Structures are given as structure tokens and as C-alpha cells.
Chains A and B, each alone.
Chain A
Amino acid sequence: MAKDEFEKREFKVVGTRVARPDGLDKVTGRARYGADMSAPGMLVGYCLRSPHAHARIKSIDTSEAEAMAGVKAVITRADFTNVPASDGTRDILDNVMANDKALYDGHTVAAVAATSRSAAKAALKAIKVDYEVLPHVTDVDAAMLPGAPELHQGRQQESVPEGFSQNVLARSQYGHGDVDAGFAQADVIIERSFKTAATHQGYIEPHACLATMGNDNQGDLFCCTQGHYMVRNTCADILGMESGRLRVTASEIGGGFGGKTTVFLEPVALMLSKKSGKPVKMTMSRDEVMRASGPTASTSIDIKIGTTRDGVITAATGEFRYQSGCFYAMNGALGAMCGFAPYDLENLKSVGWEVTTNRPKAAAYRAPGAPMAAFAVESVVDEVAKEIGMDPIDFRLKNAADEGTKSAYGPTYPAIGLRATLEAAKAHPHWSAPLGKNQGRGVGCGFWFNFGGDTCVSLMLNPDGTVSLSEGNPDIGGSRASMSMMAAEELGVPYENVRTIVADTASLGQNEVTDGSRVTFAVGLATIKAARHAIEIMKARAAATWGIDAEAVEWVDGAAQPAGPNAGKFPPLTVKEIAATMSNTGGPIAGHFEANAEGAGVSFGTHICDTEVDPETGAVKILRYTVFQDAGKAVHPDYVEGQLQGGAVQGIGWALNEEYIYGEDGTLQNAGYLDYRIPVASDLPMIEPVILEIPNPGHPYGVRGVGETGIVPPLATIANAVSRAAGVRMTSLPMSPPKVLAAIKAN
């Protein structure tokens, strides 16, 4: 498959703005989120969490807690006797239940299941943990230095040169050409260092699950996740059970943004259920979400770019140092791959570093690693353009990657939409609108890979001619609507006749997590192919009914009809008519498709933002914001616009106010939405989304994923706007008022 999937066609359903199938349930409160499921005899589970950033656990005494009224199970790491098969899953186990050391403030060290919240909370207080507090480190640069407090020993990969602490786990390098020779040709060279704070995905729904494990070693789990197959496989590996014996059902999901692509409570709840013999429900508080579920990496980045006077970049280098909390995560490498991806560079050296610190393990957050890299690279690009007196969009157009460009991370690009987004931005009235006093305009580009992956879809024809569709991916961005639309388009039936559900792990084959902006692309592709499979069966039934060859039947507007005059003269048979008689023509009809989908198609976006800076307080107001992004084909434009707007809004928060603040003792100081400041509605202008459609050759309808690229350009775009408004280059995120005011005064 891959590159030759796309066929130009006139769409009837795809591209319209149909009513969303989950809307009524969500606005009436009927939708069942992670904490909304209960079971007879259910207990509630709670975690005991480390108050220390780094401490050796010398002993844990649970005897008093176990003897308390209402307490049915107390577990520690000692209960997890199975050793998971993979390194990655061992890290996950170490993260959800501390082994010999607590590695961050909030790290779970024990858990309790009890008949009531108050009984469980009282039991947590009765657990005695003897900690030996160890020196800690939370800053990425400090963590890399020899002599820094070290979290692990012996985990450093061979790629790391000498002279670093054991916290530096890996180094990776990308690029091509000769950067020294390139810089020698430059008329202007600008070199800057940047820092970004860790931010949280900020989903509104906290992690929650209901676990049931029987004595027969069979289990059921209902949970809020972006990937219930991942939950099943990970939990089975941790508990040492066959994955087929654990059925996982995904709840409705109140936001994920990448943060729900791993497990936190689920293995703990299963173990509590196993030990107590009762169903156990667990729900995180917001404080726990902030302290112990995955934020993103904080970073320290150096960028150097050289250019000729007429605007050709001759060389670029980047050092991307990312701390991803207490375990390995590939974030610095992704930053090093993505930062320069929008540009056609002759000479490039881009280096990523993975560093551990005493913070919660970073989880994915929308294009993980890319926004911070784009912030640093696009800031220097902006400064270079300014230095040579060139319009920042013209400078980017002059150096933009195209079809045939060797990308920063290696492969050569097929048809891509970067230039189209830049040209659309330049032509948009926003770019030429006048600015007032203390106002500045910024522009920035961003890239994300997008992804395909393992995907299964089943499409069932019901006796009345309606269609039931099962996908295996939690719907975080409108996939049920999009799948119903693509099935309706392909079958030639009304959208309302197709209902899509998210099936449990026992109902479909393996599905990759809802991540990598993959679902509308990959599950959409599988839906179209499953529909085509069903159409082939329906054509065969019509052929048999008419007594002609199946090859002589074609599918037009939701009905089988003879392919031409030679095939015979029969009135068309509609889906409804074929369904009504299917029991007699060969039995039930269903189509299905399974594949590791390839050809996802990379994605680019360009953003423009106007800001106003209060020179007396450093407060930044976002005045106007426009997003230009290539969607390949927007299946449901409302959802696509929502993704573009949402990416911009999360980026605005990241750029201006969101940050993990640690105290001298290494504990998190702002574990809640009062002092961890995500934007509120009144902080934002209407974000104008402009969808471009450059078809992806790898998808039958040309679809590209749109979920992640939208968060890549905002940090840079806003920083460029603020830097121009304030008259001083901002190199540290967030650009909170104290930081902006200090920069203005220092200037």
C-alpha cells in the first residue's frame, strides 16, 4: 500500500460538518468516564506517595494499616513478584510502584484498598515508611554534570561520551554536510541558548479505573486511556498473566494529549483487586495527576545558525538537552529530529540528549519533544531574518523544505505542505494588518512525523441495513464521527446509518494506541478497506441473486447494479435490500481490515500571532492568532479546526505561564490549577484556523493526521511576537510577567 492509495473523488459525506455522535451524552452527563463505573462489592483504592524527591526506602511496615477496619488489601512493591519481560515495562512498574528508591515527590510506595475513602485514607496514614533521604536534582543542566546526584547506575548507553554523570542516558546525532565549512560561508551567524519549563498535558479528566481480578486469574479493567490494548499488554506483563485473560474496556476520555499513552493506576488497581478478591476503583486527585502522571520534558537548548546576506542558511547546529524525569524517554532525540525539519539545509548537526532527574517520568504530550525544539530553532531563524533585514516569512520560504529535500532526520520528503502554509500565511490579511504601540507580530513553523501502526476495524451490516462499526482506538479527537463518515462515504449510505463504537480488547485484534496523530489516517484507511470488503460481499450476493458473475456487478450510490448492458438488466439492489435477505443469500455480512498502516504522511504548520506587552508589568496579551496547517483532507472540518485551535491554546499556555515549579527540597510547589496556570477563556482571542488540503498519497482520501503539529509552532511564534513587542529577545519559557518585566528592565 503506502504511496499509491490516494484517488481523487467527489465527496458526499467527507468534508461536511455532521452532528457528533457523542455530543448528547457529553452535554447531559450520561457519558461514562473513567470514574463513572461501579461494581457490586467494590472497594476504593488509594496510593501512598513519597514526600521526598529522592530517598532510599529502607523498610515499609503495613501491619497497622492491614489490621484497620474496612481495609481489605495493602500492597507494596513486594507484592509484584513477576519480573516484566521488557526493559520499558520494568521502568513502568518501577514508576507505578517504587522499587528500592522513591525517585520523585509523589512516587507511589504503597497502596490500600478499603470499603470507604475515609478508611483508605486512615490506612495510608498508618503505613510506616522508613526513608533515607538522598540528594536530589531536578534541573537538566545540573543533572548532566559529573558529581550530580545520580538516580540510576549502569543505564548509560554507549553513545554518551565521557565527562557526564550517570543521569545522561543517551546521545543521538542527526544531520549531514560539513557545518564548519557552512559557517565559514556565512555572512551572519547567531548563536543563542534557551530554556523551557516542564508542562503538563492538562487533561480535565484525572486518571481513573475499575479493576476486577478473579481467583481464576481472569480480569476485567475499565479505564480512561488513549490505548486499552497497550494497557492490557502492559498490565499483563507486569502481573505475569497471559494478555488474553485480561479484557480492557476504554471509558469515554476527558482529554489525553499523549498523557494517557501509558499506565499509572491500572496495575496497582489490578493487584489490589487480586489481593482483596474484590473489584477496586481508583481515581487520582488533581494533586496526584500533577505530581505523578507524566508531564513533558524541560529543556536546555543551544542553537547556532549561519546565513548569507541574501538569506540562504549555510549551516546550522543544535544541542537539545531534555530531562524526561526519572526514567529513559526518547525526547531529546525527537527534538533533534524535528527542530530543523522545516528547512532545506546543506550543512546540519543536530544532537539530542536524554537525561534523568528527580521528577515524574515524562509522558508524551502532543508531538513529544518537538515544540521546545521549534521554539529554539524558530527564535534564531527569526533573529537571523531580522539581522539581514528580510521578512521572516520570505526568509523561511527561501529555505523551506520541499518534495525531494533531504530532511533533518534523514529521509527524503515526498510531497509536503510546508511551502503552502507559508504562502497562505503571507497572503492572509493577518500578516499585513497594522500593529499598535507595544505590539509585536511573530511567525513560526512546525513539523511532526505522524504515524500509522497496527490497526483493526470491523464493519457489520445489520438486518435493517444500518451499519455497526467497531474500532479499537479511544476517541479523543472525533474518530467515531470520522469513521462513520468514511464508512458512509464508501458504502454510499447516509452518515446517520452508521454507528461507530470503541470495542474492547477481546473484540478486535491488536490496535496501536491513539497517538502519533494516527487514528483518522490509519483507522480511517482500515474503515474504508473494511467497507470495501463488505461491498465485495454485497456485490457477490447481488450477483448470486441475479445469477450473473460477481465481476459483472458494480457498486454505485449505495447499491449493487449490473456493470453494463451486457451484464443483464436488473434493478439495483440497495444495502437495505441486500441486508433484508442476507440470511437467505449466505448469512450475515461483515467486512473487516487489519494492517500495520504505512504512509502516514508528515505534517507542517505555520502560525502567526500578535501580542501586546504591558511595559510596566510584563503582562502579555494575545491579540490575534491564525493557524495554517495541511490536513491532507479534512474529514470533519469542525474537529480539524478544533485540533488546530487546541494546539494553539495549549501552546499559548506553555509559552506564557505554565511551568512545573520545584522547591529547594525538590518537591513540586504548584500541584494544582490555581498555581499551574493553563489559559482561561478570557485569556484568548478567537483562534482562526486555516485548513490547507494537500492530499497525502498514502491514504485513499488523502487524509493526514492533524492532532499534533498544531502545538509545535506556538511557543516560537509567541516568543517571536513577544520579543518584537518588548524589544528584547526572550529565551526562557514560560514568558511569565516577572520574567518579561525583568528582561525589559535589563534592556
Chain B
Amino acid sequence: MKFETPHSVDDAVAILRADPEARVLAGGTDLLVRLRAGHISPSAVVDIKRIPGMRDISQEDGGWRIGAGVSCAEMGEHAGLKAAYPGVVEGAELIGSTQVQGRCTMAGNLCNAGPAGDSVPAMVAAQATARVAGPNGTRDVAVFDIPTAPGQTSLAEGEFITSIFLPAPPAHSSDAYLRFIPRTEMDIAVVGCAVNLTLDAAGTVTSASMSLGAVGPKVKQVDASALVGTICDDAAVEALAAAATAAATPIDDKRGTIAFRKDVSGVLAKRAARIAYIRAKGASS
């Protein structure tokens, strides 16, 4: 097995294009586990962290570009990013343990394509895009469209994600992410839910988006229009909860039952909406 450390996007693409069995290493917190467990035996591991820009968080058009090699812990220490997207950052900071968070990345979490990836729902609710480099150049793709099924992505041969872009947050907007796990940490989401809200100056919701994790083969976008035109009152969040429960299509497995996951989808929708609303209002004052 070869270990490659390309110093440019073009070099990385060339390596990946020449060797379809090569795997991209960002944080490595999924790749190395699968490697050691014998589930994969790639011909080469391509570490992209030496490529300029991969470890950078930078402002762009009022939004934030996060390199594919930025660890989730680094996001948690970035005041500007946290202020703009507290929900995205809190999702990223729930992955694994403190030690894992020092290595793991949002791009890696997205490409792992696990239905329960904690950083993904808030990115989707934020309308984030992924910048994809490949043999035919660079393209920007909605984060929602990267995973296609458990363990599968829409990336073509030779392609990899170089950065995630979170668009400029509108005034009076914020987000929140909650997950349900049987323990308090070191666990994998049984249900994950992100809500992203924008308010007007008076505190009425003008736009809302919601996404759910771990209740389908990939992250779900759920209609959150029940909140629009409201001040996130009890009736509105109950309607949102009903929408979440209806949209969830989970399976029965070792981590939870269908009935439980549908119920908890609604519970988390309510709770996340209330947190996002308080944050958005706080941001507006």
C-alpha cells in the first residue's frame, strides 16, 4: 500500500484518476478504522492535508469556506464561524470523542456517507455547497447531493471534495443541531435534526429549513414551512414536529425502532427549532 502526500489539487486528482483503488485521507477517523478492521484494503492512501488551503477557514462573499482538512475541533475554536453557524459547528463537534474531533473533518464525514453523520444535517439546512475537484476541473455541488445511499456518494472517479462553503447568513438568522443518543457522548446518532431559521426584525420567521439524519438511507430535507409567518409558538413547533415525524423513514435496527425514531424526530425538531429561534432573535438584537 502506498501513502501519497500531494501538494496540489492537480497532483491529487492525477493520483486518484490513475488509481481507482486509492482512497482519500482527510482526518482518517473513518478510513483508518475500516482499514484496520480489514473492511477495505486500498492500493494507496492519499493524504490531502498538505495541499494549500485544505486546513484554512476563510471568509468569502460574506460566507465561510472551510477546507476539507479542517478538523472539527478547529471549527469549534473559530469564533466567527461559531457566531455565524452555531448549529453547523455543534454538529461537527459531536463527532466521536475529543481525540477524534482533533482529526475528523466535515468533508470526511460527508464523504463517509453514513446516514447518521452528525455534521451533515446542519450543512444541508444551511444550503451549504461542496467544492469538488476532478479530472474535468472544479464544480460546486449542494451538500445534500453528495451522499446518495449508505456509504455511496455522487463523486465520480478521480474526484474529491476540497472545501465546504456556508453561504452568507442573512440578518436575524441562526441554526441549531440536536441528536438523540442513548448515552451522553461517544455515540452515533439514533436521530439527528438541524433547523435553520431567518426572522424579520419583529421576530417573525421569514424562512425555515430543516433536515434529519439517521432516519433514512441519507440525510433528509424536510418542509419547515410550518414555522414561516410564526414566532415559533407551540402550535407552530408542534406542526413542525408532525412534519418531521411524517418525513422520517427509519428502519428497525440495533440502535432503535421505527416508532421510536419517528417519535424522536418530532421531539428533536421542536427542541432544535426553539433553540434556533432564540439564537436568531439574539442575533437580531
Tell me whether A and B are bound partners: yes
A-to-B contact residues, CB < 8 Å = 121, 287, 616-619, 656-657, 661, 669-670, 674-675, 677, 679-680, 682-683, 736-738, 741-742
Which residue from chain A places its CB closest to the CB of B271 in the assembled complex?
A616
Q: In the complex, A652→B88 CA distance in Å? A: 33
Are B260 and A737 in contact (CB-based, < 8 A)?
A: yes
Residues of B within 8 A of A682 (CB): 183-185
Closest residue of chain B to A668 (Cβ to Cβ) is B254
A interface footprint on B182-202 (CB within 8 Å = 1, 0 otherwise): 111111101000000000000
Residues of B within 8 A of A683 (CB): 183-184
Q: Provided the pairs A121-B38, A616-B267, A617-B264 are in contact, do residues A738 and B185 lie with their beta carbons within 8 angstroms? A: no
B263, A737: Cβ atoms closer than 8 Å:
no
Q: Which of B163-187 contact A (CB under 8 A)?
A: 180, 182-187
Q: Measured between alpha carbons, how far is A656 from B183 in the docked complex, in Å?
A: 9
Contact with A along B234-253 (1 / 0, CB 8 A): 00000000000000000001
Decide if A742 touches B260 in the complex (CB within 8 Å).
yes
Q: Does B34 contact A (CB under 8 A)?
A: no
Give the residues in chain B near A742, CB-CB below 8 Å: 257, 259-260
B256, CB-defined interface residue at 8 Å: yes
- Complex CA gap A370/B134 in Å reads 61
Q: B65: shortest Cβ distance to chain A, in Å?
A: 32
**A617-B180, A680-B183 as given contacts; A738 in contact with B254, CB under 8 Å:** no
In the assembly, what is the distance between CA of A500 and CA of B168, in Å? 66
User: What are 18 A-B pairs with beta-carbon distances under 8 A?
Assistant: A616-B267, A617-B264, A617-B267, A619-B180, A656-B182, A661-B254, A669-B254, A670-B254, A674-B188, A675-B188, A675-B254, A679-B183, A682-B185, A736-B182, A738-B259, A741-B260, A741-B263, A742-B260
Interface size class on chain B is 20 to 34
For the complex, what is the distance from the CA of A675 to the CA of B277, rounded to whole Å? 34
Nearest CB in chain A to that of B41: its residue:
A118
Taking the closest CB of chain A, its distance from the CB of B178, in whole angstroms, is 11
Report the Cα distance A738→B260, complex, angstroms: 6
Question: How far does the alpha carbon of A287 sit from the alpha carbon of B182 in the complex, in Å?
Answer: 21
A741 and B255 alpha carbons, distance in the complex (Å): 14
Q: Check A677 against B180 for contact (C-beta < 8 Å).
A: no
Closest CB in chain B relative to A706 CB, distance in Å? 28
Chain B residues within an 8 Å CB radius of A617: 180, 263-264, 267
Q: Are B38 and A657 in contact (CB-based, < 8 A)?
A: no
List, in ascending order, chain B residues with CB within 8 A of A674's CB: 187-188
Chain B residues with CB under 8 Å of A669's CB are 253-254
Closest chain B residue to A663, Cβ basis: B254
Output the least CB separation between B27 and chain A (Å): 17
The 9 nearest A-B residue pairs measured at CB: A738-B260, A682-B184, A616-B267, A661-B254, A669-B254, A680-B186, A738-B257, A657-B182, A683-B184
Contacts of A680 in B (CB 8 A): 183-186
- Please, which residue of chain A has its CB at the minimum distance from the CB of B258? A738
Q: From residue B41, how far is it (CB to closest CB) to chain A in Å?
A: 10
Interface majority SS (helix, strand, loop, mixed), chain A? loop
**What is the CA–CA distance of A421 and B188 in the complex, to the nearest angstrom?**
39
How distant is A718 from chain B, measured CB to nearest CB, in Å? 14
What CA separation (Å) do A670 and B182 show in the bound complex?
15
Please measure, in the bound complex, the distance between the C-alpha atom of A674 and the C-alpha atom of B30, giving whole angstroms.
13
A677/B182 contact (C-beta < 8 A), A616-B267, A670-B254 known = yes
B191 vs chain A, min Cβ distance (A): 9
User: Given the complex of chains A and B, what is the CA–CA distance between A618 and B263 in angstroms?
Assistant: 11
Q: A737 vs B257: C-alpha distance in the bound complex, in angstroms?
A: 10
Contact A675 B180 (CB under 8 A): no
Compute how far the CA of A732 lies from the CA of B186 in the bound complex, rounded to whole angstroms. 25
Closest beta carbon of chain A to B184's beta carbon, Å: 4
Q: Which residue of A lies closest to B188 (CB)?
A: A674
**A618 cross-chain contacts in B, Cβ below 8 A:** 260
Contact partners of A121 in chain B: CB under 8 A = 38
- Provide the bound-state CA to CA distance between A742 and B258, in Å: 12
Q: A residues within 8 A CB of B263?
A: 616-617, 741
Scan residues 1-40 of chain B and give those whose CB is less than 8 A from a CB of chain A.
37-38
- A737 contact set on B, CB distance < 8 A: 180, 182, 190, 256, 260
Cα distance A742–B259 when bound, in Å? 9
Residues in B with CB closer than 8 Å to A287 are 37
Give the distance to chain B from A666, nearest Cβ to Cβ, in Å.
Answer: 15
Q: Which residue of A lies closest to B259 (CB)?
A: A742
Q: How far is the CB of B109 from chain A (nearest CB, A)?
A: 16
Cβ-closest chain B residue relative to A675: B254
Extra 10 A-B pairs, beta carbons < 8 Å, given A617-B263, A680-B183, A738-B260: A656-B182, A657-B183, A677-B187, A680-B185, A680-B186, A682-B185, A683-B184, A737-B182, A741-B260, A741-B263
Closest residue to B241 on the A side, CB-wise? A616
Q: Which residues of A contact B264 (CB under 8 A)?
A: 616-617, 741
For B257, what are the chain A residues with a Cβ–Cβ distance below 8 Å? 738, 742
The answer for the CA separation of A675 and B187 in the assembled complex, in Å, is 8
Write the nearest CB–CB distance from B34 to chain A, whole angstroms: 13
Residues 264 to 281 of chain B near chain A (Cβ within 8 Å): 264, 267
Q: How far is the CA of A674 from the CA of B254 in the complex (A)?
A: 11
Give B267's nearest chain A residue, CB to CB: A616
The reply to whether A677 and B260 contact each other, CB–CB distance below 8 Å, is: no
By a CB distance below 8 angstroms, the chain A residues around B253 are: 669
Residues on the A chain within 8 Å of B182, using CB: 619, 656-657, 677, 736-737
Q: In the complex, are the beta carbons of A677 and B259 less than 8 A apart? A: no
In the complex, how many angstroms separate the beta carbon of B14 from the nearest chain A beta carbon?
A: 29
Chain A residue with Cβ nearest B186? A680
Contact in complex: A738, B256 (CB < 8 Å)? yes
User: Shortest CB–CB separation between residue A126 and chain B, in angstroms?
Assistant: 15
Residues of chain A with a CB closer than 8 A to B180's CB = 617, 619, 737
B242 to chain A, nearest CB (A): 14
Partner of A675, one of B185, B255, B259: B255
Closest residue of B by beta carbon distance from A741: B260
**In whole angstroms, what is the CA distance A657 to B37 when docked?**
25
Q: Smallest CB–CB gap between B6 and chain A, Å?
A: 27
Nearest chain A residue, comparing its CB with the CB of B261: A738
What's the nearest-Cβ distance from chain B to residue A493, in Å?
44
Q: Give every chain B residue within 8 A of A679 (Cβ-Cβ).
A: 183
- The CA of A132 and the CA of B257, in the complex, are separated in Å by 33
* B residues 83-124 in Cβ contact with A at 8 Å: none
The distance in angstroms between the C-alpha atoms of A436 and B120, with both chains bound, is 36
Q: How far is the CA of A599 from the CA of B256 in the complex (A)?
A: 48
Query: How many Å from the CB of B275 to the closest CB on chain A?
Result: 15
In the bound assembly, the distance between CA atoms of A674 and B182 in angstroms comes to 11
A437 to B188 Cα, complex, angstroms:
28
Within 8 Å CB of B187, what residues of A?
A: 674, 677
A321 CA to B254 CA, complexed, in Å = 25
Greatest chain A CB density within 10 A among B180, B186, B190, B259 is at B186
Scan residues 121-160 of chain B and give those whose CB is less than 8 A from a CB of chain A: none
* Nearest Cβ on chain B to A48's Cβ, whole angstroms: 14
Output the nearest chain A residue to B255 by Cβ-Cβ distance. A675
Nearest CB of chain A from residue B8's CB, rounded to whole Å:
33
Complexed CA–CA distance, A203 and B275 (Å): 39
Q: Which residues of B contact A657 (CB under 8 A)?
A: 182-183
Assembled-state Cα–Cα distance A121/B254 (Å): 29
A202 to B99, CA, bound (A): 21
Nearest-neighbor residue (CB-CB) of B182 within chain A: A657
Chain B residues near A619: list those with CB within 8 A: 180, 182
Among A656, A661, A675: residue with most chain B CB under 10 A: A675
| CB-defined contacts of B255 to chain A, threshold 8 Å | 675
Q: Which residues of A contact B38 (CB under 8 A)?
A: 121
Interface centre among B184, B185, B267 (most CB of A within 10 A): B184
Contacts of B260 in A (CB 8 A): 618, 737-738, 741-742
- Taking CB atoms, residues of chain A closer than 8 Å to B259 are 738, 742
Closest-CB distance, B235 to chain A (whole angstroms): 17
In the assembled complex, the Cα of A249 lies from the Cα of B257 at a distance in Å of: 47
How near does chain B come to A676, taking the closest CB pair, in angstroms? 9
User: B85 to nearest A CB, angstroms?
Assistant: 25
- What is the bound-complex CA distance between A619 and B191, given in angstroms? 13
Inter-chain CA distance A517–B257, complex, in Å, is 40
Interchain nearest-CB distance for A613 vs B (Å): 13
